[in-house]
Amino acid sequence: MSSDPRSVDRPPAALRAEALEELLTERGLVKTEVLDGFINRYVNDVGPLNGAKVVAKAWVDPDYRERLLADGTGAIKELGFAGPQGEHIVVVENTDEVHNLVVCTLCSCYPWPVLGLPPDWYKDPAYRSRAVREPRALLAEMGLQLADDIGIKVWDSSAENRYFVLPRRPAHTESLSEEELAALVTRDAMVGVAEVVS
C-alpha cells in the first residue's frame, strides 16, 4: 500500500492521470497552464454549451420537448450529443410546482455529453449527502431560494441512469432566438442548483 498522502481515498484512475500529467510536464511535453485551460474549457464551456443547446431547443420546439422528456438519450442524440457517460440520460422538467435537483450519492455519475466534466462541488461528499437530507437548505446556501410551496424532487444518478434537468424558461424571453436562449442556460441550472435568469 502506498504511503503517498495524495493516494488516500483517491480512485486509481485519478492517481494514474495525475502521474501521467506530472511525467508529461516534467519532460516538457505539455504545460500545466495548457492542461488547466483545456480542462476549464471542457468543464465550463464545451460540455455545458451542448446541454444549453438541448434546453433551448426544447423551449422553442414543443415536439422536441416531448421527445426529450420521453427519451432523453434519443432526443439528445438527435442534436449530435452522445458518447460515454451519455448512454442513459433521463430528462426531468422543472415546473411552477416542482424543482428538480440532481445528485450522485455513490460517486459522481454525470451526463458528460451535455454537461462536460462534473464540477468539484458535485463530487464533494457534503453535497452528495446534503442534497438528499436537506435539499432546500443546500440550495439556499448555493444561492437558490425557492418558495416554500415549491416541492423539491431529488434524482440520484447512477451508471444505469444519469439525470438532466430541463429548467423553466425565464419570463419575457419570447422574442429571443434559440441561440440567444442557449446563452442564458448554465450548467448549474441543468443540475438543478440554479435557475435560468434573463
> Which residues partner with 100 through β-bridges?
153
DSSP state for residue 6 in the 8-state scheme: G
Q: Which of 3, 104, 129, 157 is catalytic?
A: 104
3 assigned to a ligand binding site: no
Q: Which of 2, 3, 7, 109 is catalytic?
A: 109
2 assigned to a ligand binding site: no
Instruction: Clarify whether 107 is annotated catalytic.
Output: yes
Q: CA-to-CA distance for 136 and 142, rounded, in angstroms?
A: 10
DSSP state for residue 184 in the 8-state scheme: T
Pairing type for strands 89-93 and 98-103 reads unpaired
Q: Which of 3, 7, 108, 158 is catalytic?
A: 108
108 assigned to a ligand binding site: yes
Residue 102: helix, strand or coil by DSSP?
A: strand
175 assigned to a ligand binding site: no
CA atoms within 13 A on the CB side of 124: 9
Q: Which of 107, 129, 177, 198 is catalytic?
A: 107
Instruction: Clarify whether 104 is annotated catalytic.
Output: yes
Taking the CA atoms of 114, 119, 121 and 124 in sequence, report the sign of the dihedral they define: positive
Q: Is-contact 113 187, C-beta < 8 A?
A: no
Task: State the binding site.
Answer: 104, 107-109
Task: State the binding site for Fe(3+).
Answer: 104, 107-109
The set of catalytic residues is: 104, 107-109
